[in-house]
Structure 1
Amino acid sequence: MKQQILTDKKIIITGASSGLGESLAWQIAKKGGIPILLARSTEKLQQISTSLHEKFAVLTPFYPVDLSNKPMTKKVVHTIISEHNPIHGLINNAGVGVFSEVNHISEEAISKMFQLNVEALIYVTKQLLPYLLQQEHAHIINIASQAGKVATPKAAIYGATKHAVLGFTNGLRMELATSNIIVTAVNLGPVKTNFFRTADPEGKYEQNVARYILNPDDVAKKVAACLFVRKREINLPLWMDIGSRIYQLLPGLCERLLRNQFSKK
């Protein structure tokens, strides 16, 4: 049944040139959907589009765009709407992280995280929203993070951006509760992607959490399976979801008991 749900559905994916975004494109195409790819790298997008066409005989449109550039983003969104009507879904996946203590992080890194993780996500959603409200049904999925539920040292800024994504997602869901649009947040622990090249260039954190790290293909399968299914949140891994729930009830105790675990970055 879920295979049929995605047949011929056109879904925009931001940050689609690698990692989870690329895996999502493959899963959607595999299930009969049409991923529309957004990212900065023309070369990478072309390679993915060609590979998907060869594997699944699906035409995969792609649009190189710097999502921190609002005029460029607006133009691309309007072009997609005019060229690929109807659009059925949006997965806001693009994001960046830099792990550093507040006292040492650069202003440039702070701005970059908020521009891409928060402002771009909101801006793309806002540009598409009037159009999606006119469709029979639609789905907006925002890739957030477990860091948006449990803040940790060296991720105060990154965690703040993901807190913002969760706040935006929850508020948007309530605003659209009686509409045709489903709104879902995806809260992930560490995922094996290029994210860590920027967030953790020394590889310390990735090494420390190696046994817990999520496979992007496994995550993509679960997200794709929930497309056009009314679901509030997807939380992975399960143990981290349980931990975040306990943290909400006993934050002080958790911070004391898990101090060493929280400081693995």
Structure 2
Amino acid sequence: MSGYRDLKNLEDRIALVTGASSGLGEQIAYQLAQKGAIVVACARNLDRLKEVAKSCAEFRGKKAYAVQMDVADPERIEKVVYQIENEVGPIDVLVNDAGFGLMQNALDFDMQVAEKMFRVNVLGTIYLSKFTALQMATRKRGAIINIASMAGKIATPKSSVYSATKAAVLGYSDALRLELKPLGISVMTVNPGPIRTKFFDKADESGNYLEKINGIVLNPELVAEKIVHSIGTAKRELNLPFFFNIANVGYALFPRLGDFLAAGIFNQK
């Protein structure tokens, strides 16, 4: 066993999680801590991060850290990676969860918000993956998990910009996976459907989207559990829920029908 497969056992492995102050990122941090990992929780809200880090430390008595970081700031990203490597230890697991969305028609979309979304969702992931992978490569060991979205595979009305960012994350991750595999580093993308988190507090201006799709909304704890369980494997994608994966295959085979469904019954925004 070598390389990323060594990470099936996460005991005392250092895991950096962005977007860890709430939602899926918070739950991933907790799942990692329960597996014995040393969690470095990153986000902009330091007060909330401290609470998350405290909870992580209580699971197994391991150290946990709260580090303030805006993934829209490349210089800060680079400093944080080197700070963790020098003061905490080698980063073995990176989870790029930080991101945001906004459900709005493309013709009404504020382009400053669009640029911000690309900087956070795409460039933040690229910068952090690069700086972390450079360190992982020296050890020939590491796992990178990029949280994308089914929106990157199946776009629906009012998701144009968000879907574009997640499609970019998917494209980047697919190439990165091939480049890093010889270096002992795995890259997995996670493509969930809607998750019951505070993400929609900002993304859904109507305030009732989750209620409309209540039957298919994912539980963040269960999603986080599946993600952490996949670390140390060669799994390339995690698509949730399963029927969305079937829908994606159907979309590729029958694109006209896919467009009809995406604009109709799948469009609840």
* TM-score, shorter chain, exceeding 0.5: yes
- What does residue range 133-148 of structure 1 map to in structure 2 within 5 Å? 133-148=137-152
* Corresponding residue number in structure 2 for 1:33: 37
Number of residue pairs matched? 265
Instruction: Tell whether the 8 Å contact from 1:15 to 1:94 is kept in structure 2 after alignment.
Output: yes
Deviates more, 1:197-206 or 1:213-222: 197-206
Alignment partner of 1:256 is 2:260: yes
Q: Which AA in structure 1 matches 2:35?
A: K
Q: Which runs of 5+ in 2 are unaligned?
A: 1-5
Q: Distance in 2 between matches of 1:126 and 1:177?
A: 14
Q: Which AA in structure 1 matches 2:16?
A: I
* Corresponding residue number in structure 1 for 2:236: 232
Q: Match for 2:103 among 99, 107, 114?
A: 99
Deviates more, 1:179-188 or 1:64-73: 64-73
- Give structure 1 regions of 4+ aligned residues with deviation exceeding 3 angstroms: none
Which SS does the other structure have where 2:144 is aligned? strand
Q: Distance in 2 between matches of 1:246 and 1:216?
A: 26
- What does residue range 84-233 of structure 1 map to in structure 2 within 5 Å? 84-233=88-237
Q: Which AA in structure 2 matches 1:74?
A: E
Report sequence identity in percent: 38
Deviates more, 1:55-64 or 1:219-228: 55-64
Check 1:108–1:253 CA distance in 2 against 1; reply closer, same or farther (3 A cut). Answer: same
Instruction: Tell whether the 8 Å contact from 2:39 to 2:56 is kept in structure 1 after alignment.
Output: no
Q: Match for 1:14 among 14, 18, 34?
A: 18
Q: Which AA in structure 2 matches 1:227?
A: I
Instruction: Tell whether the 8 Å contact from 1:39 to 1:66 is kept in structure 2 after alignment.
Output: yes
Q: Distance in 2 between matches of 1:263 and 1:238?
A: 19
- What does residue range 51-70 of structure 1 map to in structure 2 within 5 Å? 51-70=55-74
Check 1:83–1:146 CA distance in 2 against 1; reply closer, same or farther (3 A cut). Answer: same
Structure 1 residue 67 displacement after superposition: 1.2
Question: Deviation string for 1:47-93 (max 9, x for gaps)?
Answer: 11112223321210121011111222221111111112221110101
Q: Distance in 2 between matches of 1:249 and 1:187?
A: 19
Q: Give the alignment's TM-score, normalised by structure 1.
A: 0.96
Q: Distance in 2 between matches of 1:241 and 1:32?
A: 31
Deviates more, 1:46-55 or 1:87-96: 46-55
* Corresponding residue number in structure 1 for 2:3: none
Instruction: Tell whether the 8 Å contact from 1:153 to 1:262 is kept in structure 2 after alignment.
Output: no
Check 1:182–1:212 CA distance in 2 against 1; reply closer, same or farther (3 A cut). Answer: same
Q: Which runs of 5+ in 1 are unaligned?
A: none
* Corresponding residue number in structure 2 for 1:79: 83
Deviates more, 1:106-115 or 1:89-98: 106-115
* Corresponding residue number in structure 2 for 1:243: 247
Question: Deviation string for 1:124-150 (max 9, x for gaps)?
Answer: 111112111012421011000000101
Check 1:49–1:257 CA distance in 2 against 1; reply closer, same or farther (3 A cut). Answer: closer
Which SS does the other structure have where 2:91 is aligned? coil
Q: Which AA in structure 2 matches 1:109?
A: V
Q: Distance in 2 between matches of 1:140 and 1:162?
A: 16
Instruction: Tell whether the 8 Å contact from 2:84 to 2:90 is kept in structure 1 after alignment.
Output: no
Q: Distance in 2 between matches of 1:202 and 1:10?
A: 39
